[in-house]
Amino acid sequence: MATLRNTAIGWHHIHGEPNIARANRRADRRSHDLITAVTSSYPRTQ
């Protein structure tokens, strides 16, 4: 579980998210978007 959490934190950090805790809460509510972003061969921007 720690590996998944650290991966999510790193993902948010790399993409310039200023508030990691808020980004994690948002990702918890929209897990499909995070899974799509991680598994996509072409990253999307917001």
Q: How does residue 22 score in pLDDT terms, banded at 50, 70 and 90? A: very high
Q: Are 27 and 8 in contact (CB under 8 A)?
A: yes
Element (H, E) at 28: helix 20-29
Number of domains in the chain: 1
Model pLDDT, residue 29: 84
Q: Give me the mean pLDDT over the 13-29 stretch.
A: 88
Tell whether 17 is covered by a domain: yes
Q: How many CB atoms lie within 10 A of CB 34?
A: 17
Please determine, for residue 34, whether its predicted confidence score (pLDDT) is greater than 80.
no
Tell whether 45 is covered by a domain: no
Give percent above pLDDT 70 in the chain.
85
Tell whether 16 is covered by a domain: yes
Tell whether 7 is covered by a domain: yes
Domain residue limits at 10: 2-38
> Lowest mean pLDDT: which of 2-11, 16-25, 30-39?
30-39
